[in-house]
Every structure is written in C-alpha cells, then in structure tokens.
Homo-oligomer: A and B are copies of this chain.
Amino acid sequence: MPTLDFWFDFASTYSYPAAMRIGPLAKASGVSLRWRPFLLGPIFKDHGWETSPFNLYPAKGRYMWRDLERTCGALKQPFAQPALFPQNSLLAARVALVALAQEWGEDFCRAVYGAEFGAGRNIGEPAVIVDVLKGLGQDANAVLEQAQSDATKPLLRAQTEQARKLGIFGAPSFVTADGELFWGNDRLEAALDWAKK
C-alpha cells in the first residue's frame, strides 16, 4: 500500500482544513498515512522570524484569515479566529506523539485543531488539552505525564529535525515515499496522486 507522511504543526492555520479532510481522501486513494507532528518555530527561527510570517507581514496575514474562512466555509467546517496567534503548540505536539502511538491519535489531532480554529480556544493552555483528552475518554493526567516525560521530549525534537532535513519550511506538508515534497492544504490531492504513482 502506498504511503504518505503528513507533517503538521498545531499552530499552523492551513493544517486545520488539511487535518480534517486528509483521512477520507487518503482512504479513497488507497494511501496509508503517517501523521507527523513537528514544530515550525525552530525552522522559522532559521529564517530570522520570531513569530509567524502572517504576523510579520500584515497584508499577508489579513488575507490568510479571510482565505481560511472561505476555505472552511467551502468545506462546511466551523471556523473561529482565535484571539491569540500563533499559539504555543509544544504541549499539543508532545501529547500527539503519545496519542499517535495509540488508536485515538488522529481523533486527538482533529479535536485539537477543532478547539483552536473551529472554536477559537487557546491550545497553549494545558486546561484546553485536558478538555480534549477527557472528550476522547482518556485519562488526562496519565497522558500528560507521559507526554512531558524525558522519553517523549526528544522524539519531538527529532521529528522537527527530520522535517528540516526533508526541506520542510511550512505546514501542512506532505512527503511521499520517494521523497517528493508538497506544501499547503491545496496540494493534498496532488500529494495523494503522486503517492499512488
């Protein structure tokens, strides 16, 4: 079965529609997915950016929010612009690494994106992650402990380093088994087509 790696950061706006639609599209394409959370922050710092380019370049930022609203509207997905952007995605990413080793990982990722960009909540607050975990019927304390353990922290650093080595500079990104890189929610279909070839 062909595979596709789905690289995402929970702080990334366009990763929200990608996360919500990638599952059914991959299934229909007969492509097996690997969900790969990473942190864009260290990669942006290589560019000299201390925050999102959508904040550094206001015209681009205004456009992005409007375009995201239109994109979610076309997909009939809820959309609410969070008061804070970008959000601290470190805890969510660590929890995702724990969750994706279990059956509820993809549900966790979708629920985090829904809380952030569907309901406008701040996923940098541990209480929001606890809410998401409880909503999935998980033992929040046990999961958070594992996510913040010395076993999990280096895994996330290693994923981020691997993303950088793959040439990833934004999210969402998709990488095929033969190393072909696709960037952006609107390249998802092209990435699946490439993976099948």
Give chain A's interface residues, CB within 8 Å of chain B: 47, 56-57, 59-60, 62-63, 66-67, 70, 74, 167-170, 181-183, 186-187, 190
Contact = CB atoms under 8 A, between A and B. Distances in A.
Contacts of A170: 60
A181 B57 contact: no
9 contacts: A47-B56, A59-B167, A59-B168, A59-B169, A60-B169, A60-B170, A66-B181, A67-B182, A67-B183
- Within the oligomer, what is the number of copies of this chain? 2
B67 A169 contact: no
B63 A183 contact: yes
Nearest to A187: B67
Contacts of A167: 59, 62-63
A188 to B, nearest CB: 11
A74 B167 CA distance: 23
A182 to B, nearest CB: 8
Nearest to A167: B59
A63 B181 contact: yes
